[in-house]
Amino acid sequence: MNTITRRRFITHTGLAASTVTLAGLPTLSHAAPKERREYPKGKAEHCIFIWLGGGAAHIDTWDPKRLGDPVKKIAGSAYPAIKTAIPGVQVCEHLKHTADVLDRFILLRTVNHTIIDEHSAATNFVHTGRKPTGTIAYPSIGSLVAHQKGSAGSGIPPYVLIGYPNLMRGPGFLGAKHGYVYLTDTEKGPAGLTRPPYVTTARQSDRERLLEQFRTGYRARNPDDKTIAEYDDAIGASLNLTKGDFMRAFELSAEPSSLRQKFGEEFGQRCLLARRLVQTGVRFIEVSFNLNFINGTGWDTHNLGQKNQHILIQQLDQALAMLVLDLEKNRLLDKTLVVVASEFGRPPEFDGGGGRGHWAKSFTIALAGGGLKLGQAIGETDELGKLPVKQPLSVPDAHATIHCALGINPARLLYDGDRPVPITDMGEPAAQAFA
């Protein structure tokens, strides 16, 4: 029998363990070469990310199929299809204004994921491009763009959320500095950035001097606390927002009333505000269109929600088409990428109440502007829009396409402490989107 010393045992088992560890982490071993790869590099400087919260039905909007009947429970699209400015590409009849300018768009028709068909999990996945691990707080795409593109000027936040805040839109391990400024009122702007009438300029200066003393002292007593440092930086940035051009973006009354009417109601005014925010230099603006009171359910069209879905689509159509034309008129379309996304689509079958369930196996993300190779639909789904049949795109692929359009390397390594994390989870951009 061969004998083995303790030292030889440790040496051999240590080498074996190292081999197993490296074999189990292909992402780390290949991350550096992938990061050095040449990726398409677009010229967009800003992104307007329109969020249809609830799960917009792709077959009732961007990817129409044979006509169904919700009353008779015949599977298919709920509305007839119409021609568009792209030969051979159709959309639903309620997108008539957008159809006329669809040559400024790309339709990614085969986006899909396998996350459970539940709103919060799917929303998180489409915003972060990652499945939760419990060990890393992944940043949203908005925070990633803010981190990579930075502020366009002093007193201008890189990331604005028009809608209600939550962690899914947050900065994750990137820290509070790369979080969002949010608002729910398009006229007043972000809460807390406008002084009440009884606070004079002199009184505000006194408050800021007192706050500065507390901030400086507390930070000095906690020099190694990263969280405190990030929070303090965020306070400083928020104070700067009140002093520059940022707040002027919310003066929608400065726009001609005729233009405001063309944009439509609340969602349309949010889109108009997004254009004004781009003009101030904001890099990423998420515009939430989740106004459930319009049809009672928003884009989550179970049961009777389907009945008035066309109202949502019509309001999306009016505002989106006007946004694209307005950006174009202001010479901003080539450097602004407009994205229309949702957490999943809807199946072609109708439920017992004449609505639709959730469907993540194939849905559409629409892109406009951004200097891309526009006027095309990428990918193809089957006869009922249930599964991709040509060029399926993962959510990380869609993220990679957006990042490349903004000139961001989708494989670049960021770090959560010492742990390397690529910007996308091995996403590959849709090559056809780039000239």
Q: Provide the pLDDT confidence category of residue 208 given band limits of 50, 70 and 90.
A: low
Q: What is the pLDDT of residues 212-268, one digit of tens each?
A: 776 777 778 887 777 777 666 666 666 666 566 788 899 999 999 999 999 999 999
- Beta-bridge partners for 413: 422
SS (H, E, C) the chain: CCCCCHHHHHHHHHHHHHHHHHHCCHHHHHHHHHHHCCCCCCCCCEEEEEECCCCCCHHHCCCCCCECECCCCECCECCCEEECCCCCCEEEHHHHHHHHCHHHEEEEEEEECCCCCCHHHHHHHHHHCCCCCCCCCCCCHHHHHHHHHCCCCCCCCCEEEECCCCHHHCCHHHCHHHCCEEECCCCCCCCCCCCCCCCCHHHHHHHHHHHHHHHHHHHHHCCCCHHHHHHHHHHHHHHHHCCCCHHHHHCHHHCCHHHHHHHCCHHHHHHHHHHHHHHHCCCEEEEECCCHHHCCCCCCCCHHHHCCHHHHHHHHHHHHHHHHHHHHHCCCCCCEEEEEECCCECCCCCCCCCCCCCECCCEEEEEEECCCCCCEEECEECCCCCCEEECCEEHHHHHHHHHHHCCCCCCCEEEECCEEEECCCCCCCCHHHCC
DSSP bridge pairs for 390:
380
Which residue did the predictor score with more confidence, 8 or 136?
A: 136
Q: Pick the more confident residue, 228 or 276.
A: 276
Q: Per-residue pLDDT for 321 more than 60?
A: yes
Cα–Cα distance for residue pair 360/378, rounded to 1 Å: 18
> How far is Cα 284 from Cα 281, in angstroms, rounded to an integer?
9
Average pLDDT, the chain: 88
Range with lowest mean pLDDT among 23-27, 144-148, 165-169, 258-262: 23-27
Query: pLDDT digit string (tens) for 84-126?
Result: 999 999 999 999 999 999 999 999 999 999 998 899 999 999 9
CATH class given for the domain over 33-194+242-433 = alpha beta
pLDDT at 367: 98
Quick: pLDDT tens for 180-195.
999 887 876 675 556 5
By percentage, how much of the chain surpasses pLDDT 70? 84
What residue ranges do the domains of the chain occupy? 33-194+242-433
Q: In the predicted model, is pLDDT for residue 166 greater than 90? A: no
Bin 115: left if φ > 0, else alpha if -120 < ψ < 50, else beta: beta
Is the pLDDT confidence value at 174 over 50?
A: yes
What would the two tokens of residue 241 be? 């927002």
What would the pLDDT profile of 384-393 be if each residue is shown by its tens digit?
999 999 999 9
User: Greater confidence, 190 or 27?
Assistant: 190
